[in-house]
Amino acid sequence: MPNPKTLMRPTVAASLAVLLTLAAGCSKPSDTSANATNAQASQSGVASRLGDLSVFQSIASDVAALVDKGDLPKAKARIKDLEVAWDAAEAGLKPRAAEDWHKLDKAIDKALEALRADAPTQPNCKSAMTNLQQTFATLSGKR
């Protein structure tokens, strides 16, 4: 019998992505002053021209922590959640800032590639995850 957690993970990730996409569509601040924008960014976590990316960054942080521990099989399983959520949110995020979306998508793809390699290594996976986290940080600084 399949593990219920394994069956629920894609459903939960997809549902979360749909909710994020819906919320992202309504995230334009009514006050465009710099103070209001900065306050919104600090309240919502990682904000960028793409919107609030904190849920995606949280999953990436989980993956990075697993890689740091050397638990590459769990990291590989957890990054699937990032892939599913990111793909489900594409239609809502990409039109906001296509160039930023492509940068982050490429960093996610490299992390997926490193963890799904035939013989993944901790240094390669760590490098890919560091790059992904730096991409999140770079994009969150854009206004």
Q: pTM of the predicted model, to two decimals? A: 0.70
Cβ partners under 8 Å of residue 101, min gap 6: 50, 90, 93, 94
The more confidently predicted of residues 7 and 103 is 103
Is there a contact between 110 and 81 (Cβ–Cβ < 8 Å)? no
pLDDT per position as a tens digit, 9-60: 555 554 554 444 444 444 433 333 333 333 333 344 446 899 999 999 999 9
pLDDT per position as a tens digit, 89-110: 999 999 999 999 999 999 999 9
The more confidently predicted of residues 143 and 142 is 142
Residue 66's CB is within 10 A of a number of other CB atoms, namely: 21
Ordered alpha helix ranges (H), the chain: 4-24, 34-44, 54-69, 72-93, 98-115, 122-140
